[in-house]
Amino acid sequence: MTRVHSKKSYVILYFLLFSMLLFSIYVPKLFASEYHTHQGEARPDDHAPIGVMGDHTHARGEFMLSYRYMHMVMSGMRQGTSGVSSAAVLENFMVTPTQMTMDMHMVGMMYAPHDRLTMALMVPFLDMSMDHVTKMGMNFSTQSSGIGDIQFNNLITVWENENHHFHIHAGMSFPTGSIEERDDTPAGPDMILPYPMQLGSGTFDVLPGLTYTGKLEKWSWGFQGTGVIRLGTNDRQYTLGDRLNVTMWGARKWNDWLSQSLRIEGKIWGDIEGADPMLMPMMVPTANTKNHGGKRLDVLMGLNFSVPRGFFKGHRIAVEGGLPVYQDLNGVQLETDWMISAGWQYTF
Ligand SMILES: [Cu+2]
């Protein structure tokens, strides 16, 4: 009960802070005659590497449409910081996962009703596949796909000048993703799938965050911290762990249409609380709530292309790929091997 109570206080604090900041947006208007968000020419590294969300804001009246594709491969099991064989996992479970791939398509829209407020909507579509081997040596695979949790975010510029920009995030994730994905397994037809194969959290989640970016003539850099705070318990009687992401990047602008970036990203996420009563925790590690939290540090490299003028002015294309250099997973879980993101953005 104390946990639920503390979460309620989080949300109240959050909305108080949010309304104060929304109000503060209009206060500078009383003092300043005009407020400029965009200074100078657009450049390829005006946007962070494509794997970073909510990294930039827009000038009043601007719209941005975007599409992102992300592919992630997880192969082999890991306990803590070291790999474990399928045979070792099968000493304690009937089945072990061997590999998982995730493809995500994300459609986004941004709109700035004010120079200090940019609203962002993101709609993800997920496509996941997990391969397994049983104690008897049989291989099988399960699939799930569909819409994930829709996110709505408010990016509020707190302070900026010619070279530095700082905004906070006040967002919410809605439980539009299914948590009742099913597939056939050796245990039976149309069985409820374990937690990592579900498409959403099943809960309303609060998405706070802050972003700082800086730039000089040829270089730019940034820092972002974001969180996911789950509210309450979902319809299948569990709550996914809260998450904290921290990332830093640097980019070199080569000319007016190309920049190159290097980024590190650290993540910490908690274990699942409660449990889906239809899942058998002795069957497979993914169905056991002890095997979900962890920490990870990724290193990523990226390219940003932008079109500064002409018919395709306002269009951007970017790609970023990377791999973990450290991962410490609670219990036994599939380890992440590599990931790649590519995206298109159009501002008008
Ligand atoms: Cu944008």
pLDDT by residue (tens digit) across 28-69?
554 454 444 444 578 999 999 999 999 999 999 999 999 999
176 Cα to the center of ligand 1, angstroms: 23
Q: Which residues of 92-110 are buried (b: 16+ CB within 10 A; e: fewer)?
A: ebebbbbbbebebebebeb
Report the separation in Å between the CA atom of 263 and the middle of ligand 1, taken as the mean of its atom positions: 19
Residue with tokens 């829209």: 109
Distance 275 CA to ligand 1 centre (A): 38
Q: Assess contact for 190 and 234: CB atoms under 8 A.
A: no
- Predicted TM-score of the model (pTM): 0.87
**pLDDT, the chain, mean:** 92
Of the listed ranges 15-24, 94-103, 150-159, 264-273, the one predicted with least confidence: 15-24
For residue 9, what is the enclosing H or E element?
helix 2-31
CA 35–ligand 1 middle distance (angstroms): 19
CA of residue 96 to ligand 1 center, whole Å:
41
Rounded distance from Cα 333 to ligand 1 centre (Å): 35
3-state secondary structure the chain: CHHHHHHHHHHHHHHHHHHHHHHHHHHHHHHCCCCCCCCCCCCHHHCCCCCCCCCCCCCCCCEEEEEEEEEEEEEEEEEECEEECHHHHCCCCCEEEEEEEEEEEEEEEEEEEECCEEEEEEEEEEEEEEEEEECCCCEEEEEEEEECCEEEEEEEEEEECCCEEEEEEEEEEECCCCCCCEEEECCEEEEECCHHHCCCCCCEEEEEEEEEEEECCCEEEEEEEEEEEEECCCCCCEECCCEEEEEEEEEEECCCCEEEEEEEEEEEECCCEECCCCCCCCCCHHHCCCCCCEEEEEEEEEEEEECCCCCCCCEEEEEEEEEEEEEEEEEEEEEEEEEEEEEEEEEC
For residue 125, the model assigns a pLDDT of: 98
Q: For residue 228, how far is its CA from the centre of ligand 1 (angstroms)?
A: 21
List, for residues 105-131, the tens digit of each pLDDT value. Answer: 999 999 999 999 999 999 999 999 999
For 271-291, write each residue's pLDDT tens digit: 999 999 999 999 999 999 999
The fold for domain 2-347 equals Porin (2.40.160)
The pLDDT of residue 308 is 84
pLDDT at 24: 63
Q: State the pLDDT at residue 27.
A: 56
- pLDDT tens readout for residues 304-319: 999 988 888 889 999 9
Lowest mean pLDDT among 3-17, 167-181, 229-243: 3-17
Mean pLDDT of 166-171: 97
Tokens of 314: 């306002």
Give distance in angstroms: CA of 255 to centre of ligand 1.
Answer: 21
Residues, CB-to-ion distance under 5 Å, ligand 1: 64, 110
- The reported pLDDT for the residue numbered 33 is 43
Q: How many angstroms does the Cα of residue 313 sit away from the middle of ligand 1?
A: 14
pLDDT at 243: 97
Question: pLDDT per residue over 246-263, tens digit each?
Answer: 999 999 999 999 999 999
Measured in Å, residue 206 CA sits from the centre of ligand 1 at: 21
What confidence tens digit (pLDDT) does each residue in 125-152 have?
999 999 999 999 999 999 999 999 999 9
48 Cα to the center of ligand 1, angstroms: 10
